[in-house]
Amino acid sequence: MNGPLIVQSDKTLLLEVDHERADDCRRAIAPFAELERAPEHIHTYRVTPLGLWNARAAGHDAEQVVDALVQYSRYPVPHALLVDVAETMDRYGRLTLSKDPAHGLVLTTTDRPVLEEVLKSKRIAPLVGARIDPDTVAVHPSERGQIKQTLLKLGWPAEDLAGYVDGEAHPIELAEDGWALRPYQKQAVENFWHGGSGVVVLPCGAGKTLVGAGSMAQAKSTTLILVTNTVSARQWKHELVRRTSLTEDEIGEYSGTRKEIRPVTIATYQVLTTRRKGVYPHLELFDSRDWGLIVYDEVHLLPAPVFKFTADLQARRRLGLTATLVREDGRESDVFSLIGPKRFDAPWKEIEAQGYIAPADCVEVRVNLTDSERLAYATAETEEKYRFCATTATKRKVTEAIVRRFAGQQILVIGQYIDQLDELGEHLNAPVIKGETSNLQREKLFEAFRQGEISVLVVSKVANFSVDLPEATVAVQVSGTFGSRQEEAQRLGRVLRPKADGHQAHFYSVVARDTIDQDFAAHRQRFLAEQGYAYRIVDADDLLAAE
Amino acid sequence: MSTEEKSAAPRSLAEALRGRDDASLAALLRGRPDLITPVPTDLTQLATRAGTRASVVRALERLDRFALQSAEALAVAPDPASYGDLLGLMAGDPGDTADPVVAAALPRALGLLRDQALVWGDEDRLRLVRTARELLAPSPQHPSPTGLGPTVREATAGMSPGRVQEILAAAGLPSTHDSVSAVAALGDLFGDREQMAALLRTVPEESRAVLSRLVWGPPYGQITHDPAPHLRRLLDLGLLLPTSPGTVVLPREVALHLRGGRAHRATEPVPPPVTAAADHRPEVVDATAAGAALTALATVEELLKDWNEGGPPVLRAGGLSVRDLKRTAVALDVSEPVAAFWTELAYAAGLLAPDGEPDERYAATPAYDEWRELPDAERWALLAEAWLLATRTPGLIGGRDAKDRTLSALGPDLDRSAAPEVRQRVLALLAGLPEGSAPDEESVLARLRWERPLRSPRRDGRDTGGAGGGTEDDLRTRLARWTLSEAELLGVTGRGALAAPARALIGAPAGADGARTAPLAPAEQVAAGAAAARLLAPLLPEPLDHVLLQADLTAVAPGPLERPLAEVLGVLADVESKGGATVYRFTPGSVRRALDAGRTAADLHAFLATHSRTPVPQPLTYLIDDVARRHGRLRVGAASAYVRCDDDALLSEILADKRAPGMGLRRLAPTVLAAEADPAALLEGLRAMGFAPAAETAAGDVLIARADAHRTPPRTPPEPVPDGPPVPDDALLAAAIRAVRAGDLASTAPRKPAPGAASAAEGTPPRTGPAETLATLQAAVLTGEALWIGYVNADGAASQRVIAPIRVEGGFVTAYDHTADEVRTYPVHRITGVAELADDAG
């Protein structure tokens, strides 16, 4: 009994990373446990019903899970926990969704009382049709997603054996000339394809677009790609043209400005969720072609209405891509039940160790408010407090100092408040990209930044996602969307793309000390700290004095 | 010892008892301890007491299923019955169908019934104690589990003689002169297998089908006013006898014939075995149990720590409110029933109790502080012993009592006297399995039901009758289930199998057959507890002296921590996850708490540096510094005491004194000095300097935010409420038997003829037993005769008197005293003896 794993009674698993058997153990528990935190010494995994069911779906049984726990555990595993694991896993597969030649989609059971129990539920009743025999009940084909979601909530997850439609075939090949998919990308594509549908979690900068492209090359069918905004849509298009056999003409953009429907169509969430007179006019996009694959970029941002549409698309293969499956609204389980279970997940530090993302030096700079600012802060209304402390004048001085220190490198300054950004832009003599900047102007500025014509760019949260800025090496965050963990991760992602010269990336977060700014910062950093990014804390005075 | 009587057949239970040796009497008294509370004066009284209804019911309830079935069979057999009769009823008619297993097991069952003084008499004249017979024999109001009806004689009791003769004639028997002999002849016919078979061949198939419906009971059937011919035929032959208008009964003899002589449809001569559901390696079992034991200790400590600064209030009716239980469950991160279990366990172990103040709250007892100081293994042994012996039953919590009130944790009405016995028994059964075997729960329950069928009837209702109805019925089963789950929580079992320390705890060495039923004596239990603790100690992991600090502001203790370390960390950080390891999270709030508790930032840095194997992460250093910086800014808690004086000069004088620096005084304001020394030291120091300071406790001045732990006054743990008197130990038994024998000898020794006037003159006072005294006095009241009594007055002086009793009541006899020539009242217990006067004495 000297294993690397400690099984806690609250069903968390603590893995001691420096242990000689840690890697074996990690492999053994990965199928059923979610990596929750990965700081330097002890990684925390959590065993959830969802995780156990996903493991069952992937073909693991309770015995394997129990074996893994018992084999690697340092202390005896509580009996109750083992019993619970076995019982939970036993619940999976009692119900199956399948295609019946005569009755269409049916829900079958191997355990009649379970079927009786779920049919009694008020939430299931409207989703099912006639009882075909004691063990089988018809399901309205359109409710396939809904019933899976509901059954999961009832604790009787259904195994979906109804399969997928192939969709309209369209030849897509990866154009691997002078580059190749990285091993983990290949693994991700393979896992996704094998599983049918699901979510791939990769750090920012680790090449999620290529996982999408790889999956399309597997599917070889018409594909609908949903992205967060137009800039991101253009980048997807650019990347697909470069990396696959697809040509410009085969890829359509469906956004506020253009409404093209081509074999591969890239649409923004915004246009899909536009509502006019209570209806979503662009919904027919989903039905406009016989899509064989639907890709959801940045799945953690999936807006609620898209969940609803997705529920109707259960017969099509669905790929979710994200860097941080952390939703501040806690709807992770909807992502799992509607898009699919997590098929691939790699800790950031692991990818970093393989050299595919740049190592980053994360620094939190703490600035003091001046006396007058403190008074203003103390007397501000609650909703104004964050703005007061986040936009302190000292932050400007600190930002200037950092920009001076890294002069010559590509620097991004990211913030929340336009006034603050405008002021910074003025002092740093740098262009500012914000919501009102036109797409044309944005792309021009990005291109100039990419070419090194400008070295400092001030951006608002419009640039949070999918802005490909390959040579940004320093990011300075002056303010953010309160305590958003995924925003912090996305922003760090801006500088993680591997650098041509292999040098380190720098991420500065400037925080006003002893204010809610600091509390928010602590919350924002939690995800990254759990991924093993240790923030260094520096005093603004020291930083200014070092000048 | 009246050995000479052994040869003669006993004529009563008392005589049968008299014939038994001391060991067998001791066995009886051990099995039925209610018989010697109080110690009976002689064997006659013992026999009488053994025949009382309450005592017999109690004895029957303690029979196993087969012994009970044997008793039931005896109750339907003739009285007295021979061993052959009984064997026939239990195993079926002699021949191929007789069950050899039953025949083999019957002597044991009969022996048990004899031991328990429920059956007495020789092999050929077995008698069931009359009360037992009344309890077990079938009657219309109280059907027997055998499903048999009344005998022909009982069923024909109210029948007209003419009708009886008609039946006789129909059955082809010669008529007799009177009903008694007619009924006897009919009974003989029904009891004769061959003739009966012949008789039954004469009735139509339909009729036989009717009989077979009634054969296994219930034996009663309904008929219409004008029965169908096939029923008519049965009635004519007396194969069915009317009991009341519209109801008929199958006579016992007929049913027995149809059953092949069996009293029971199915007998269970051998106890159902406890089967193993899973086999684990004993090391795994012990380790798992040790893990659970450690969790148990941590949970109890956490519970009481949570209640340290004033626990939840005591409800007016006693106990913990549902809300407080919920809160406790959330705090312990367990389900409510489990939280209730831990609370009750701590209560049973005497670690928590109501504090007895006007606004009564629960709090830890002083015993808790002692308990905390013990080594882990001993602490566990104390908890486990308390659990084993407690009659309080946490499983009931949340349920409702007979008056539909919710049973609350720590509340009243949770005592179930059967609980300790069931716990011991379940553990003994587990001990009977090989090491590392986890039992099949249902087989354990089935075994328990077999052992006490009347206390835990099956749900199918085959066992009816006996005492205890309603919800109490399956209490034992529920207790057994609770025992199994609680044992797992407490670490008595691991993976369902009994762990080695628990084996020691119940005094069952490895490999024992689990036959031990009697609980350990208190002294043995203490030794067993110590043995259990010795076995457990090496299984518990060594406490660690370090933690792993991480940049995400967590600390992981990869095992149990040394107590001082755990205590400081518990203040400095919040516990996020428990189990084999503990995960702590540092937050500004938790660091502030540590500072509030009187620690300084430097302290904390040093503490973390000492106990971390890796460098302290920078964010953590910053966190502590940041909190400490703001903490200090308001200067709260930095000073330990102050000196206040309106006279500035006097304060200056103190500051200037050579002895002042030791107290760390500094001036905060012209009239206020702050001191680093604590108030007591400061007072002492100032007094030593020749001042006369007074201690001050101004409202609102909090010096150090460390609350005193709240404790109850000394409390004893709740006494278990046992079922009936405790089982007497051997010394008491021996003494009791000696006393009974002596009394018996005295009462049964051959007597001299009643002493006459002559012997009175000789001055020998009569001596009689209290019962006889009372009886003679009462008789004298009726006859009005004078008696000669020996009497001891309040001073102890013996005298003899002649009295004519007038009345006897309330332990006093009122009588005309011939000696004193007046009416006097004497306490009966002061009368040493009475004797009737010789006829010429008046």
- Provide the pLDDT confidence category of residue B100 given band limits of 50, 70 and 90: confident
Q: What are phi and psi of A174, to 5 degrees?
A: -75, 135
Beta-sheet pairing, B119-120 with A472-477: unpaired
Q: How does pLDDT run across B284-304, given as a tens digit for each residue?
A: 888 888 888 888 898 898 888
Q: Are A299 and A287 in contact (CB under 8 A)?
A: no
The full length of chain B comes to 842
Burial A271-292 (b: 16+ CB within 10 A, else e): bbeeeeeeebebbebbeebebb
Nearest to A201 by CA among A311, A314, A319, A305: A319
Q: How does pLDDT run across B735-747, given as a tens digit for each residue?
A: 888 888 877 776 6
- Provide the pLDDT confidence category of residue A532 given band limits of 50, 70 and 90: confident
Task: Return the structure tokens found at B402.
Answer: 């007979």
pLDDT of residue B344: 93
pLDDT of residue A462: 75
Return the DSSP state at B821: T
Q: Are residues B611 and B656 in the same domain?
A: no
pLDDT of residue A328: 65
B709 vs A155, higher pLDDT: A155
Asked which of B81, B102, B136 is the last residue of a domain, the reply is B136
What percentage of chain B carries pLDDT values higher than 70? 89
pLDDT of residue A295: 92
Q: How does pLDDT run across A310-362, given as a tens digit for each residue?
A: 777 777 889 999 877 766 676 777 777 788 888 888 777 778 888 888 888 88
Q: Are residues B564 and B656 in the same domain?
A: no
Q: Are residues B300 and B405 in the same domain?
A: yes
Full residue range of the structural domain in which residue B240 is found? 152-258
Q: Are B351 and B365 in contact (CB under 8 A)?
A: yes
A37 touches chain B (CB under 8 A): yes
Nearest to A403 by CA among A424, A383, A420: A424
A41 touches chain B (CB under 8 A): yes
For residue A520, which residues of chain B lie inside 8 Å, CB to CB?
none
Residues B435-450, mean pLDDT to the nearest whole number: 87
On whether residue B669 sits in a domain, the answer given is yes
For tokens 């990308």, name the residue: A185
DSSP codes, A276-289: BTTB-GGGGHHHHS
Q: How does pLDDT run across B664-705, given as a tens digit for each residue?
A: 777 777 888 778 777 777 778 878 877 777 676 655 454 444
For residue A37, which residues of chain B lie inside 8 Å, CB to CB?
552, 554
pLDDT of residue A99: 85
In the three-class reduction of DSSP (H, G, I as helix; E, B as strand; rest coil), residue A334 is classed as helix
pLDDT of residue A447: 85
A74 touches chain B (CB under 8 A): yes
Q: What are phi and psi of B749, to 5 degrees?
A: -60, 140
Give this prediction's pTM: 0.69
On whether residue B329 sits in a domain, the answer given is yes
Contact B556 A42 (CB under 8 A): yes
Residues B234-241, mean pLDDT to the nearest whole number: 83
Q: Is residue B755's pLDDT more than 50? A: no
Residues B606-610, mean pLDDT to the nearest whole number: 91
B577 touches chain A (CB under 8 A): yes
pLDDT of residue B800: 80
**Quick one: residue A408, left, alpha or beta (phi over 0 = left, psi -120 to 50 = alpha)?**
left
A514 touches chain B (CB under 8 A): yes
Among B89-103, B587-601, B710-724, top mean pLDDT goes to: B587-601
- B798: CATH: 2.30.30
pLDDT of residue B839: 54
Mean pLDDT lowest among A440-449, A533-542, B479-488, B689-698? B689-698
Q: How does pLDDT run across A158-194, given as a tens digit for each residue?
A: 888 887 888 888 999 988 888 888 889 998 999 888 8
A103 touches chain B (CB under 8 A): no
For residue B538, which residues of chain A lie inside 8 Å, CB to CB?
none
CATH number of A358-545: 3.40.50.300
Contact B558 A535 (CB under 8 A): no
pLDDT of residue B517: 53
pLDDT of residue A265: 92
For residue A44, which residues of chain B lie inside 8 Å, CB to CB?
577, 583
Residue B388 to residue B425: CA distance in whole angstroms: 11
Chain-centroid distance of CA B801 in Å reads: 52
Residue A530 to residue A510: CA distance in whole angstroms: 20
Contact B618 A73 (CB under 8 A): no
CA distance B339 to chain A (A): 15
On whether residue B707 sits in a domain, the answer given is no
Q: Are residues B227 and B251 in the same domain?
A: yes
Task: Return the structure tokens found at B501.
Answer: 């320390």
Q: Is residue B309's pLDDT more than 60? A: yes
A2 touches chain B (CB under 8 A): no
Q: How does pLDDT run across B548-578, given as a tens digit for each residue?
A: 888 888 888 888 888 888 888 888 898 888 7
pLDDT of residue A215: 93
Q: Are residues B388 and B523 in the same domain?
A: yes
Q: How does pLDDT run across B510-522, given as a tens digit for each residue?
A: 444 444 556 677 7
Q: How does pLDDT run across A436-472, given as a tens digit for each residue?
A: 888 788 888 888 888 888 889 898 877 665 455 556 8
Task: Return the structure tokens found at A378.
Answer: 């103390």
B765 cis-preceded (ω within 30 degrees of 0): no
Can you give the three-state secondary structure of A136-152, one letter per residue? EEEECHHHHHHHHHHHH
On whether residue B495 sits in a domain, the answer given is yes
- Provide the pLDDT confidence category of residue B1 given band limits of 50, 70 and 90: very low
For tokens 């620094």, name the residue: A363
Mean pLDDT over the full length of chain A: 84
On whether residue B747 sits in a domain, the answer given is no
- Classified by CATH at the fold level, domain A183-351 comes out as Rossmann fold (3.40.50)
On whether residue B730 sits in a domain, the answer given is no
pLDDT of residue B8: 61
Q: How does pLDDT run across A484-527, given as a tens digit for each residue?
A: 777 887 788 778 877 767 678 899 999 988 888 888 888 888 77
Q: Are A5 and A497 in contact (CB under 8 A)?
A: no
* Contact residues, A window 518-537, toward B, CB-based 8 Å cutoff: 526, 529-530, 534-537
Q: How does pLDDT run across B340-375, given as a tens digit for each residue?
A: 999 999 999 999 888 888 888 898 899 998 998 888
Mean pLDDT over the full length of chain B: 81
Among A12-21, A50-59, B12-21, B696-705, top mean pLDDT goes to: A12-21
Q: Are residues B576 and B646 in the same domain?
A: no
Q: Are residues B434 and B526 in the same domain?
A: yes
Return the DSSP state at B836: E
pLDDT of residue B838: 62
Of B488, B577, B619, which has the smallest distance from its Cβ to A10's Cβ?
A: B577
On whether residue B723 sits in a domain, the answer given is no
Of A9, A79, A514, which has the smallest distance from its Cβ to B288's Cβ?
A: A79
pLDDT of residue A290: 85
Residues B711-732, mean pLDDT to the nearest whole number: 76
Q: How does pLDDT run across B627-652, given as a tens digit for each residue?
A: 888 776 665 556 777 777 778 888 78
Q: Is residue B756's pLDDT more than 50? A: no
Residue A35 to residue A531: CA distance in whole angstroms: 9
Q: Are residues B560 and B521 in the same domain?
A: no
Residue B464 to residue B467: CA distance in whole angstroms: 9
What percentage of chain B carries pLDDT values higher than 90? 5
Residue B493 to residue B509: CA distance in whole angstroms: 15
pLDDT of residue A222: 92
Chain A residue at shortest CA distance from B560: A75
For residue A14, which residues of chain B lie inside 8 Å, CB to CB?
556, 558, 577, 581, 583
Q: Can you give the C-alpha Rg of chain A in angstroms?
A: 25
Q: How many domains does chain B have?
A: 6
What percentage of chain A carries pLDDT values higher than 70? 96
Q: Are residues B71 and B187 in the same domain?
A: no
On whether residue B2 sits in a domain, the answer given is no
For tokens 């037993």, name the residue: B769
pLDDT of residue B698: 59
Nearest to A477 by CA among A393, A395, A386, A404: A395
Residue A429 Cα distances to A174, A426, A454, angstroms: 42, 5, 10
Q: Are residues B416 and B281 in the same domain?
A: yes
B128 vs B460, higher pLDDT: B128
- Provide the pLDDT confidence category of residue A212 given band limits of 50, 70 and 90: very high
Q: Are residues B348 and B287 in the same domain?
A: yes
A316 touches chain B (CB under 8 A): no
Contact B580 A514 (CB under 8 A): no
CA distance B473 to chain A (A): 29
B215 vs A497, higher pLDDT: B215
- Provide the pLDDT confidence category of residue B42 given band limits of 50, 70 and 90: confident
- Provide the pLDDT confidence category of residue B409 given band limits of 50, 70 and 90: confident
